[in-house]
Chains A and B, each alone.
Chain A
Amino acid sequence: MAAELALDIVKTYSGRVPIRARIRYPVDAATVLILFGPSGAGKSTILRSVAGLEWPEEGRIRFVSRTWLDTKSDIRVSPQDRHIGYMSQDYALFPRYTVAGNVAYGLGHLSAQERKARVSEVLDLFQLRGLEHAKPRQLSGGQQQRVALARAVAPRPLLLLLDEPLSALDAPARIYLRDELRRLLKQLALPSIIVTHDWAEALTLGDLMAVVSGGEVLQTGTPMDVFSRPRNAEVAHAVGIETVVKGQVVWAAAGMFRIDVNGVMVNAIEGEAYGPDVYVCIRAEDIAIERGPIAASSARNQLAGTVTAVAVLGALARVTLHCGFPLVATVTRSSVDDLQLVPGQAVTAVIKAGAVHLVSRQDH
């Protein structure tokens, strides 16, 4: 049997979209699976079903060689017996326990000596030394997150489940902690499932990504693949960003960045400093198309290219360009006619530098 998490569940709610999810996630390589989608899509419910905190009416969940749920055979394994680490959105730290007490909470099966050693080991790993005796309310958001993660991994779970791990933090901390979380997850080498609606988090943290929308899993693949090659319009809408390409920062000063993407120079304005390897992300609606070469304007990026495909979807059209790298733009249907956009047509893609988003990248 392949080492995987196989899930096929149905859960209905009165007055809400039912969840019919099917996921196969190989866990042997300690990869990170992202459940990505808009809020209310059912991501958290899927995660909670894996944790055993939510009981689907129908379906099966199998983890490696163990069946956690099989409604047909009436198998329902309790969360206590699944050996998972689960972290909820607000971290749910135990308010009466200290940091060390929180970390030790799930280690009741160990002897006092082993427990002490394990707590100390985990505190070191999560850089919580000096905070052992602090109560949760004395900690910053980032520290609370580390404690919650430390508590979840202390009993050596087989699978780690994180529900929106960064959403409780404010924006500046979130970007820094996103990279830190990536580093910790790689260090832990634990199969992990992370729920998020933030595409930058998905790109940074994920090895695999499943797009969840309307209670269903629409597409699974590497985050970059799913973002840049959505299977259909529904996926494209759910992910919200259509161009994701790898690039290298060649010049940076005062929030201005110049990135080399396949030999093409792209300018970006970003508030944060980024390493040389980045993902360049552009929303389809932030790209304007002009016919042929144009005179210089205030927009920072004018990329010459050709149209490779045009797909009309109601009043809008999805135009795929090649400008040294693939680029997807959304324009109105009337501009398709006005600009005579057909495959092979030479055009210029105009993108404001502020619409080019950078996400730091460590090649997996």
Chain B
Amino acid sequence: MNWVAIWVTCKLAGLTACALLVVGLPIAYWLSYSHWRWKFLIESVIALPLVLPPTVLGFYILLAIGPHSPFGRLYTELVGHPLPFTFEGLLLASILYSLPFAVQPFAAAFEQVDRRLIEASWTLGVSKLQTFFRLIVPLSTAGLVTGAVLSFAHTMGEFGVVLMIGGNLEGSTRTVSIDMYDEVQALNYAGAAKTALFLLVVSYAVLLLVYAVNRNVWAAWPQK
């Protein structure tokens, strides 16, 4: 098995999940509590990676961060090298690609929080931001874990986007699923089988965790 690829993949998935915890929380909060009538427009954009072929998404991200776009030029000027075909570019693409897998469970969990609890907090003089961290987040832990774990797992297995944005550079953008594809292309079925089994076991473990969290199987987990 290609341990370098596994390390790159785990690093990518872990950083993506962490970034989505930071980026996804305010988006999910806004989606849950905003009364804006055109909210569905934003909701649809966020859900787009669920239905779009990864190659299409990757293609547009590539255009957006490439040297011909304003963002790409700015990045090249600031950092000194272009974003595509680097780990950072891959991370950015992964964040966008996994956004709905984090935001939707977060938003669903926030919507479960009784509105009257939030109002009680406000009338006690506690600001909206403080209410979010002291009341809403602790009541949404299962949803937050689900969102983080699902985006981690989704990033582990991504293929099309990685190919479009990251290329296939050993040690920085070659992930497990691409490594496995290479093995098959090289007719090394034994190597591919090991990698496939690894991904299967990881995916199953992740889903076990998600379902267990949502069923309160651990007594230590605070009950509703």
Contact = CB atoms under 8 A, between A and B. Distances in A.
B117 to A, nearest CB: 5
Contacts of A88: 116, 119-120
Contacts of A18: none
B77 interface: no
Contacts, number: 60
B44 interface: no
B37 interface: no
Interface string A184-213: 000000000000000000000000000000
A106 B116 contact: no
Interface in B100-141: 114, 116-117, 119-127, 130, 134-135, 138-139
Interface stretch (A8-16, A59-67, A77-85, A112-120): A77-85
Nearest to A54: B119
A94 B136 CA distance: 10
Contacts of B134: 105
B222 interface: yes
B215 interface: no
A153 to B, nearest CB: 11
A206 B27 CA distance: 46
Given A94-B135, A96-B138, A86 B117 contact: no
B68 interface: no
A92 B125 contact: no
Interface in A77-110: 78-86, 88, 90, 92, 94-96, 105-106, 108-109
Given A80-B125, A92-B114, A86 B119 contact: yes
Contacts of B116: 88, 90, 92
A79 B119 contact: yes
Contact of A95 (B123, B124, B139): B139
Contacts of A92: 114, 116-117, 119-120
A53 B121 contact: no
Nearest to B124: A106
Range of interface residues on B (Cβ < 8 Å): 10 to 19
A92 B135 CA distance: 12
B124 A155 contact: yes
Contacts of A105: 121, 124, 126, 134
Given A94-B135, A96-B222, A80 B126 contact: yes
A94 B123 contact: no
A177 to B, nearest CB: 20
A86 B139 contact: no
A96 B119 contact: no
A51 interface: yes
A151 interface: yes
Interface string B135-176: 100110000000000000000000000000000000000000
Residue in B117, B124, B134, B135 with the greatest tally of chain A CB atoms within 10 Å = B124
Contacts of A109: 125
A78 B120 contact: no
A108 B122 contact: no
A53 B122 contact: yes
B213 to A, nearest CB: 16
Contacts of B127: 80
Nearest to A90: B116
A53 B120 CA distance: 10
Interface string A301-316: 0000000000000000
A81 B128 CA distance: 12
B71 to A, nearest CB: 37
Nearest to B123: A86
Given A92-B114, A94-B135, A96-B222, A86 B126 contact: no
A85 B139 contact: no
B117 A94 contact: yes
B117 A51 contact: no
Given A92-B114, A92-B119, A94-B117, A83 B139 contact: no
A86 B222 CA distance: 27
A96 B114 CA distance: 13
A101 B117 CA distance: 14
B114 to A, nearest CB: 7
A256 to B, nearest CB: 43
A151 B123 CA distance: 11
Contacts of B117: 92, 94-95
6 contacts: A52-B122, A80-B125, A80-B127, A85-B123, A88-B120, A94-B120
